[in-house]
């Protein structure tokens, strides 16, 4: 092969590599373990960004109280970070009005790890991913998909939005920011490949997958069939312990002993939809159609998760154990 031809072929391969990400790996981060017993405590909240309205400020206040009691290490946001249509850009005052000026309790001055929700995709996605927001508020970290390792736990954050076909075929009057997502099929294929490979190689004691949309839910939106068909088989094959999501504005726990537990924490602000879809009561451990949030306390042998309402009352608690799995 002549040098010029070889160079052209090599350049074309490199362009394909960087554009499609077909050989890329998910971005990987580490959160330091700071407690002497190596345990981890976190809060999970979703569907929150309403400038303090719809009880967002009240939920934030209770998060601060519980965060102090648990000495949390960080906060996970499961998407729909800014309503109704994401951020307009890096200078959108909604960032401060819905985040920095709301979650002010000292215990919440920890790292926040966020994924995107469908409402975020209706705005400027690149703005939410921008380092400029991190310069404004050091706590903020948002990516489409990434892996977070902390001690004995690995969190696999997944961008579930491109899986939902109706956002492409029936967008109604909404405009979605699909930059760096199209072509959709390739994006999803690469993401599933990278996720499957990463979970398979993981040696973490606990494996949690975090996304915005529900896989098992009795909430108004119902199950996301595309995730049932494409993501759920990966969770089952690799025995993922928890799938954590938002989207439905409720607090919910669905699970069967010895299988993946499905935890919804989408009560960060507007809730009380009044719609509960039929679900097997043997699986549906909690359905609360109201505002609140969730905590996780993780040790090497057990994960405790607790749901709180807008007043800080405990609604439900359960645990997983590596010895006997679900209690």
Q: Which residues are catalytic?
A: 221
Give the separation between CA 181 and CA 303, rounded to whole angstroms.
34
Determine the 3-state secondary structure of 317 from DSSP.
strand
Of 211, 209, 286, 265, the residue nearest 242 (C-alpha)? 209
- For 82, the token pair is 């800014």
CB atoms within 10 A of CB 316: 16
Q: Are 322 and 205 in contact (CB under 8 A)?
A: yes
Rounded CA-CA distance 279/212 in Å is 20
Could you identify the residue written with the tokens 């345990």? 39
Q: What sign does the CA torsion over 103, 107, 110, 112 have?
A: negative
Rg of the chain taking only CA atoms, in angstroms: 20
d(CA 168, CA 189): 17
Tokens 């490979």 found at: 197
Closest by alpha carbon to 177, among 123, 133, 127?
123
Helices vs strands, H then E, count in the chain: 9, 16
Contacts of 180 (CB under 8 A, 6+ apart): 126
């Amino acid at each position: 092969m002549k040098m010029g031809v070889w160079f052209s072929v090599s350049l074309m391969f490199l362009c394909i590599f960087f554009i499609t990400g077909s050989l890329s790996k998910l971005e990987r981060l580490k959160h330091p373990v700071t407690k002497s017993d190596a345990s981890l405590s976190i809060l999970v909240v979703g569907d929150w960004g309403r400038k303090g309205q719809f009880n967002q400020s009240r939920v934030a206040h209770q998060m601060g109280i519980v965060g102090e009691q648990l000495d949390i290490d960080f906060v996970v946001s499961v998407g729909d970070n800014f309503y109704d249509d994401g951020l307009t850009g890096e200078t959108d005052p909604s960032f401060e009005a819905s985040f920095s000026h709301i979650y002010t309790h000292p215990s919440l001055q920890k790292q926040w790890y966020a994924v995107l929700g469908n409402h975020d995709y209706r705005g400027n996605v690149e703005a939410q991913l921008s380092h400029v927001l991190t310069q404004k508020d050091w706590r903020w970290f948002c990516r489409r998909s990434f892996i977070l390792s902390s001690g004995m736990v690995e969190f696999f954050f997944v961008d579930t939005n491109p899986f939902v076909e109706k956002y492409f075929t029936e967008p109604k009057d909404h405009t979605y920011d699909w930059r760096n997502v199209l072509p959709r099929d390739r994006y999803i294929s690469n993401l599933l490949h990278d996720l499957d490979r990463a979970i398979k190689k993981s040696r973490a004691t606990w494996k949690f997958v975090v996304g915005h949309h529900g896989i098992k839910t009795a909430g108004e939106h119902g199950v996301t069939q595309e995730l049932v068909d494409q993501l759920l088989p990966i969770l089952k094959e690799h025995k993922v312990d928890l799938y954590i999501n938002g989207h439905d504005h409720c607090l919910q726990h669905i699970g069967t002993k010895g299988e993946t537990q499905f935890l919804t924490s989408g009560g960060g602000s507007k809730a009380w939809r009044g719609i509960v879809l039929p679900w097997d009561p043997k699986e549906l451990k909690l359905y609360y159609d109201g505002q609140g949030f969730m905590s996780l306390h993780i040790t090497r042998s057990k994960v405790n998760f607790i749901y709180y309402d807008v007043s800080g009352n405990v609604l439900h608690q359960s645990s997983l154990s590596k010895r006997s799995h679900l209690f």
